[in-house]
């Protein structure tokens, strides 16, 4: 059944992009199906999760309504949520329930563990944030609206909604209006210093800034999540992964005003599979190296994705003056429609109202594979490797690339980047040619098992 569903997924995406733009051979499709067979074990945990109704009788239900929550969208239900959490967290086999059909206004809250047993957080209704930035207390609340800390083995599910009510925050941003002061804004949902967490079938929307952050955590599995915010909402990254390891993200749809997924410093072993991205700024590693900081990201795989109308596609972005490295990254089986900058490495990233100073140090970028990437681009440069002369990009591999512009003027840009291309490459990437004939063998052999690296902590 998994094979049939995946094959239908490919056919639908090919139809959406137009048969003239994508040419998938039978061999490619069969190869992808074989890859799925080899990796089905990665999904078993998700699809074997018990449904709420299946074992309700074995759980102790802790309903926020029982602690005084009103659920009318305007009454402050924060205290009811805090009291219900204390009860659920201290009681084994508990389910913290947010009932369906109601909207609960909750102020900034930190839900702390560790909890007794494996807590289930069943979000069936809607949790909404206060919408006025003037009432936000940064001294007390920092940049977190709903934060979950120090949990082990918790499951978040239920089909409900977490709504950050971010529209007034967006309007107050200096990116929307240059006369506004540039100030921080909260993250809608944060999972912090936790492990063995599963998040399934939850919607996170309208984040004040970032929508969903995973920070300083290990073994996080996200499945069937939907993240959405307005296309013009500033800095509303869909899922932001920082200082975290062993994260699996799959079967998710993300559309925001910033990166659909952003992976930053001290993150490793990140796997993404069957991702829809758009609108947004694409799927990004970085930014890294800001303010001469160290940035390290290793062992990232994106397999089977569709990007539509994004301002970037597959992006690695670093600031001048940084240090560290990005290594062992594989982007494969990706389709794009009307995407600007489909493949881009930018070691001169500068998200600042002022021009950035030229510096010689840079985050090193190497061992990056792009395989089976096809579709249409809104920009002439469909492949752009803008790398540092002092710290060049190396060991880049292009395999079976077919990217085209609507007017047929697709181009490739390389600066201080070396690697190889094999299979069908359109447009030709001769500027990437390397004399190192061992790259292909090394990359194919080494990417599946990322190395252990030193973890360097930095601020979010």
Active site residues: 258, 281
137 SS3 class: coil
351 and 389 Cβ atoms separated by less than 8 Å: no
d(CA 86, CA 173): 36
d(CA 105, CA 88): 20
99: which DSSP letter?
Answer: -
Residue 308 phi/psi, 5° resolution?
A: -130, 125
32 and 6 Cβ atoms separated by less than 8 Å: yes
Residue 140 phi/psi, 5° resolution?
A: -85, -40
Would you state the torsion angle of the CA atoms of residues 319, 193, 78, 99, taken in this order, to the nearest 10 degrees?
A: 110
338 and 376 Cβ atoms separated by less than 8 Å: yes
Among candidate residues 320, 317, 299, the one with its CA nearest the CA of residue 390: 320
235 and 206 Cβ atoms separated by less than 8 Å: no
d(CA 93, CA 119): 6
Q: What is the Cβ-side half-sphere exposure of residue 233, based on CA atoms within 13 angstroms?
A: 29
The angle at the Cα of 402, spanning 39 to 414, to the nearest 5 degrees, equals 105
205 and 211 Cβ atoms separated by less than 8 Å: yes
- Residue 148 CB contacts under 8 Å (≥ 6 apart), including other chains: 111, 113, 121, 154, 189, 190, 191, 192, 194
Residue 357 phi/psi, 5° resolution?
A: -70, 140
How does strand 120-123 pair with strand 103-105?
Answer: unpaired
235 and 280 Cβ atoms separated by less than 8 Å: no
């Amino acid at each position: 059944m998994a094979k049939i569903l995946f094959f239908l997924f490919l056919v639908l995406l090919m139809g959406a992009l137009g048969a003239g733009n994508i040419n998938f051979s039978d061999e490619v499709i069969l190869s992808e199906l074989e890859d799925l067979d080899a990796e089905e074990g990665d999904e078993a945990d998700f699809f074997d999760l018990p449904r709420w109704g299946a074992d309700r009788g074995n759980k102790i239900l802790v309903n926020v309504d029982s602690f005084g929550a009103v659920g009318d969208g305007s009454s402050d239900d924060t205290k009811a949520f805090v009291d219900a959490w204390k009860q659920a967290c201290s009681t084994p086999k508990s389910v913290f329930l947010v009932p369906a059909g109601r909207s609960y206004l909750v102020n900034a809250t930190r839900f702390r563990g560790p909890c007794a047993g494996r807590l289930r957080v069943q979000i069936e209704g809607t949790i909404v944030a206060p919408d006025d930035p003037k009432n936000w207390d940064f001294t007390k609340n920092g940049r977190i609206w709903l934060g979950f800390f120090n949990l082990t083995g918790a499951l978040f599910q239920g089909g409900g909604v977490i709504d950050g009510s971010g529209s007034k925050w967006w309007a107050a941003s200096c990116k929307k209006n240059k006369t506004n002061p540039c100030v921080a804004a909260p993250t809608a949902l944060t999972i912090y210093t936790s492990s063995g967490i599963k998040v399934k079938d939850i919607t996170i929307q309208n984040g004040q800034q970032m929508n969903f952050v995973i920070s300083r955590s290990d073994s996080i599995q996200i499945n069937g999540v939907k993240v959405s915010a307005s296309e013009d909402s500033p800095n509303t990254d869909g899922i932001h992964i920082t200082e975290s390891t062993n994260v699996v993200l799959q079967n998710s749809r993300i559309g925001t005003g910033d990166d659909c997924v952003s992976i930053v410093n001290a993150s490793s072993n990140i796997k993404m599979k069957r991702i829809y991205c758009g609108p947004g700024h694409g799927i990004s590693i970085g930014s890294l190296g800001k303010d001469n900081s160290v940035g390290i990201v290793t062992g990232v795989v994106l397999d089977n994705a569709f990007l539509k109308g994004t301002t970037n596609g597959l992006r690695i972005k670093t600031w001048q003056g940084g240090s560290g490295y990005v290594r062992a990254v594989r982007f494969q089986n990706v389709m794009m429609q009307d995407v600007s900058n489909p493949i881009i490495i930018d070691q001169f990233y500068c998200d600042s109202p002022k021009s950035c100073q030229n510096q010689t140090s840079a985050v090193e970028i190497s061992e990056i594979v792009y395989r089976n990437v096809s579709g249409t681009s809104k920009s002439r440069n469909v492949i752009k490797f803008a790398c540092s002369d002092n710290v060049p990009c190396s060991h880049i591999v292009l395999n079976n690339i077919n990217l085209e512009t609507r007017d047929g003027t697709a181009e490739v840009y390389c600066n201080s980047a070396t690697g190889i291309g094999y299979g069908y490459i359109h447009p030709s990437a001769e500027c990437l040619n390397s004399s190192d004939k061992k790259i292909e063998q090394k990359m194919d052999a080494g990417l599946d098992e990322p190395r252990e690296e030193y973890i360097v902590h930095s601020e979010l």
